[in-house]
Amino acid sequence: MTLFRLDASIRTEGSVSRAVADTVQAAWAAEHPGVPILRRDLGQHPLPADAWRTAVGAGFTPAEDRSAAQRDATALAGSLADELLAADAYLLAIPLYNWNIPHHVKSWFDLLLTEPRFNVGGDRILEGRPAVLVTVRGGGYGPGTPREGWDHGTPYFRRMFTDVLGLDVHIAEAELTLAAVTPAMEALRGLADKSLTDAHTAAESHGRTIAARVSALAAA
């Protein structure tokens, strides 16, 4: 009954994605009290910037000829794979930065996909395992808004977690999170409050859903 939690916000205090993820985790823990949480905090501890390039190079180098750096990079990729495989469910808290995915999350994906067990086109070894994606956007990106179509993160998350990794993903999302601190967005603060409330409501529901799903699978 293990939950893997990934955080990507570069903030700890005041991070909306972390706060909404805490709601998911609390709902999970109510069903599975005392169960350890596997955690990787990419926002506070990003992966080495050159690890992906080095691991790719290692893939074209016989094992006996690999450099120390190549061995370290492949070992790191292996540890990322081990973390995912050790979990029964997943909590993925990733904000939108500059209309796209955080670069440290892209590095995590890229390095993970160099690991033979996660090669694109191979077996999806996490197939069907439940996950909650918490994603947070500072502005508004819905139909008719000035930034409609500028959210390049959420479609990528859906594609990678669902189509590439094979997870059964439930999404809790909040928008307009910068309204409270941006004078030009003052008129949107009511909408922002509602979006955040809805995100926590969805997070609590999704946390219970994945917890119940894992319990049911264990009992089967």
Encode pLDDT of 188-212 as tens digits: 999 999 999 999 999 999 999 999 9
> CA angle 169-171-176, nearest 5°?
155
Encode pLDDT of 117-139 as tens digits: 998 877 899 999 999 999 999 99
**What pLDDT sits at residue 26?**
97
* Percent of all residues in the chain with a pLDDT value above 70, rounded to a whole number: 100
Give Dmax over CA atoms of the chain in angstroms: 63
**What pLDDT sits at residue 184?**
95
Q: Residue 27: CB partners within 8 Å, gap ≥ 6?
A: 203, 204, 205, 206, 207, 208, 211
**What pLDDT sits at residue 36?**
87
> CA angle 68-73-78, nearest 5°?
125
Tell me the C-alpha distance between 83 and 76, whole Å.
11
Domains of the chain: residue spans and CATH = 3-219 (3.40.50.360)
For the four alpha carbons of 6, 135, 52 and 43, in that order, the dihedral sign comes to: negative
Tell me the C-alpha distance between 61 and 55, whole Å.
10
Band of pLDDT at residue 68, cut at 50, 70 and 90? very high
- How many CB atoms lie under 10 A from the CB of residue 128? 10
Q: Residue 1 above 90 pLDDT?
A: no
Encode pLDDT of 79-108 as tens digits: 999 999 999 999 999 999 999 999 999 999
Q: Residue 219 above 90 pLDDT?
A: no
Contact 196, 178 (CB under 8 A): no
Band of pLDDT at residue 220, cut at 50, 70 and 90? confident
For the four alpha carbons of 15, 97, 41 and 133, in that order, the dihedral sign comes to: positive
Q: Residue 152 above 90 pLDDT?
A: yes
Band of pLDDT at residue 30, cut at 50, 70 and 90? very high
